[in-house]
Amino acid sequence: MSELIAFIGIGNMGLPMAENLMKSGKKIRVFDASKSTIEIAQKKNLDVVENLSDLVTTDVTTVITMLPEGKHSKEVFLGESGIINKVSKDCLLIDCSTIDIQTSKEIGKKATENGIKMIDAPVSGGVMGAQKATLNIMVGGTKEAFDLALPLLKIMGKNIFHAGELGSGNGAKICNNMSLGITMIAASESLMLAKRLNIDIKKVHEIMKNASGNSWPISVYPPLPDLIKGTPSNNNYRPGFSAGMMNKDLKLAYECAKSVSADTPLGKMALEIYEKFCKDGNDDKDFSAISKVIGGDAWDYPIE
């Protein structure tokens, strides 16, 4: 049977991932619940179906999902028209959504009961990483399922990690993004303090990139404009990774921490900061726009 990939969820991240698979020569069909998103995919010459039941058929060899939350993954996989009951036992399921570990394991358990191989494979790297196929992909599942998925994952990402059993991919991603949320706030505080002290921010940024205060938000994804080309801060904070998604991931981290009685005070504080930022109407801005809150009256780059 020839390889056929069904890709569900072609939003900001899913679309470039699906495009990279298509450009590599893979036969791929895509679906999204949003009609406007489907129209964008059609303009990209992707093979689009407008009904989920038409997408997942017995000739599909791999299903890849990139969905917003656990409830969406659960509905797609286990709902009344769930795909686990539609695909053949030879089909590989790859859920690239960042969701709660419990839901990931629940879906995986059902897949295993049906004799179907599945991995959770959330990604990190934002829209730029998806477009350039430089994503970091964290995988949970059996070694056999990981090895089967690896050739496809290498088309979409650069650094592929097998974190452990099913659910471990999401666990690793949640830990990573808790750190990212915290360090983005720290980078914002540091750069905005330099501004209040009337020190050249570009010079402080260059110093931090080469000193012990360096971090991914400093060296790759700074929260202020005019520091690194191509970042959301230079494009009115059009999201590569939205504040709303960061807020969701920090909530996942907080719930995970509670479930194992882990004390994560900085993670909790980061959640509170992002939660308020989103409630104030900024959930569709890039998460680096949190510097707007940190900056206070020192800020002179308005968000439209």
* CATH number belonging to domain 171-298: 1.10.1040.10
pLDDT tier at 294, thresholds 50, 70, 90:
confident
Instruction: Give alpha helix (H) positions in 56-141.
Output: 70-78, 101-113, 126-132
Residues of the chain with CATH 1.10.1040.10: 171-298
Burial of residue 209 (CB within 10 Å: 0-12, 13-18, 19+) is middle
Q: What's the rounded Cα separation, in Å, for the pair 284 and 299?
A: 20
Residues of the chain with CATH 3.40.50.720: 5-165
Residue 296: the pLDDT is 58
Residue 293: the pLDDT is 86
Residue 187: the pLDDT is 97
Catalytic residues: 173
Residue 1: the pLDDT is 53
Residue 54: the pLDDT is 85
Q: 58 or 66: which carries more pLDDT confidence? A: 66
Percent of the chain exceeding pLDDT 90 equals 83
3-state helix, strand, coil in the chain (%, to 5): 55, 15, 35
Q: Which long-range contacts (CB under 8 A, 24 or more apart) does 260-265 make?
A: 264/178
Q: Write the CB contacts of 264 (distance below 8 Å, at least 6 apart in sequence).
A: 178, 253, 254, 257
Q: What confidence tens digit (pLDDT) does each residue in 100-144 have? A: 999 999 999 999 999 999 999 999 988 889 999 999 999 999 999
Q: What confidence tens digit (pLDDT) does each residue in 49-58 have? A: 988 888 888 8
- What would the mean pLDDT of 212-234 be, rounded to a whole number? 95
Residue 290: the pLDDT is 95
Least confident piece of the model among 6-15, 47-56, 147-156? 47-56
Residue 81: the pLDDT is 80
pLDDT tier at 65, thresholds 50, 70, 90:
very high
Q: For domain 5-165, give its CATH number from 3.40.190.10, 3.30.465.10, 3.40.50.720, 3.30.2290.10.
A: 3.40.50.720
Q: What confidence tens digit (pLDDT) does each residue in 166-188 have? A: 999 999 999 999 999 999 999 99
Above 90 in pLDDT, residue 298?
no
